[in-house]
């Protein structure tokens, strides 16, 4: 086995220029881990937030740090206590964000965090699913408890999380409203949105009596969303918790989701994909050496779907 592999690492916090693609020691799988040869990874906003140091108070990483917490690849080695998996199995995962990530040729990941790669998806498509799909799933179902027949507003439907949120909410039987720009109206409709608000032309804040708001943007969008909910409605956010006093003024329940690994949910999501019920929208694909450009694309806020890193 190789003693080193190629990875995109940071040695200190900062802008895209701190990303360095270099040979680093091979990850050593623990007894409960599998070692995976990565074919593709994907970029999520949490990656550059960690790179900038915004999350260092809650996620005190050791340096050098390999970023990236989405991947699809093949198992090449098993930890001593791992059962149920074999070398050669194709898997995908959102691994533990406290450990080294997936902008790399290899990753050591807990066997409990992986799931079988959806057979119908390419490596690139599979790598684009875990973090954002789990975020949408956990926000809508585990936290907001979205039910059939409820009206839900999903902000930024053309983004990585929004893409999956629209599809999951529609499959649950909800009435789905989403915000997007003019250029992406047809995309979000094709994913299942019942109503589309073009934020360049309309103001979502005039909506009323919604059951659930899924806030992926924060700030003024989050604050303006509170009045759109009925009394007893729920707002679930993935960016900065809603002030409890504000939520109380509007009579709504504030919820916060920080996505967790879940092999069980990834298995359910893989089944949806293989049954033709999940569409994966890829914005762009970058080589590992061009990871800084991939971060710039993510930071632009203009990505339509997911940004993928092709590793091997």
At 2 the pLDDT is 83
Are both 142 and 124 inside the same structural domain? no
Q: From CA 129, how far away is CA 282, in angstroms rounded?
A: 10
pLDDT above 80 for 280: yes
Mean pLDDT of 158-162: 95
At 239 the pLDDT is 93
Residue 225 lies in a domain: yes
Are both 286 and 239 inside the same structural domain? no
- The model's pTM: 0.96
In contact, 138 and 268? CB cutoff 8 Å: no
pLDDT above 80 for 1: no
Are both 223 and 248 inside the same structural domain? yes
CATH number at residue 43: 3.90.180.10
Q: From CA 84, how far away is CA 17, in angstroms rounded?
A: 41
At 56 the pLDDT is 93
In contact, 42 and 283? CB cutoff 8 Å: no
At 113 the pLDDT is 97
Angle between helical axes of 130-137 and 263-274 (0-180°, round to 10):
100
Structural domain including 156 reads: 132-256
Are both 145 and 247 inside the same structural domain? yes
CATH number at residue 222: 3.40.50.720
pLDDT above 90 for 301: no
Are both 163 and 100 inside the same structural domain? no
Are both 206 and 248 inside the same structural domain? yes
- Give the model confidence (pLDDT) of 76-121 as tens digits: 999 999 999 999 999 999 999 999 999 999 999 999 999 999 999 9
Per-residue tokens: 164: 């999956």
Residue 267 lies in a domain: no
Mean pLDDT of 32-61: 96
pLDDT above 90 for 272: yes
- Give the model confidence (pLDDT) of 208-248 as tens digits: 999 999 999 999 999 999 999 999 999 999 999 999 999 99
How many separate domains does the chain show?
A: 2
């Amino acid at each position: 086995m190789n003693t080193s592999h190629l990875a995109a690492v940071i040695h200190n916090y900062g802008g895209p220029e701190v990303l360095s693609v270099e040979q680093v020691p091979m990850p050593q799988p623990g007894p409960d881990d599998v070692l995976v040869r990565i074919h593709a990874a994907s970029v999520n906003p949490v990656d550059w937030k960690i790179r900038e140091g915004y999350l260092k108070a809650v996620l005190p990483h050791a340096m050098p740090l390999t970023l990236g917490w989405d991947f699809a690849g093949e198992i090449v080695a098993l930890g001593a206590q791992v059962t149920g998996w074999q070398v050669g199995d194709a898997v995908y995962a959102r691994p533990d964000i406290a450990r080294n990530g997936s902008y790399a040729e290899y990753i050591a990941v807990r066997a409990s965090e992986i799931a079988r790669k959806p057979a119908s998806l390419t490596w690139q498509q599979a790598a684009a699913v875990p973090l954002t799909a789990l975020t949408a799933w956990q926000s809508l179902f585990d936290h907001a408890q979205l039910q059939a027949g409820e009206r839900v507003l999903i902000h930024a439907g053309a983004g990585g999380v929004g893409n999956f949120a629209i599809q999951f909410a529609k499959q649950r039987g909800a009435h789905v409203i989403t915000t997007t720009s003019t250029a992406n109206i047809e995309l979000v409709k094709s994913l299942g949105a019942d109503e589309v608000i073009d934020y360049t032309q309309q103001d979502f804040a005039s909506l009323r009596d919604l059951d659930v708001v899924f806030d992926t943007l924060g700030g003024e969008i989050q604050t303006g969303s509170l009045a759109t909910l009925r009394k007893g409605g729920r707002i679930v956010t993935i960016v900065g918790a809603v002030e409890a006093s504000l939520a109380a003024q509007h009579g709504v329940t504030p919820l916060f989701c920080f996505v967790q690994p879940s092999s069980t949910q990834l298995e359910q999501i893989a089944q949806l994909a293989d049954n033709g019920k999940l569409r994966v929208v890829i914005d762009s694909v970058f080589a590992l050496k061009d990871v800084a450009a991939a971060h710039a694309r993510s930071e632009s806020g203009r990505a339509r779907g997911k940004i993928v890193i092709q590793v091997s």
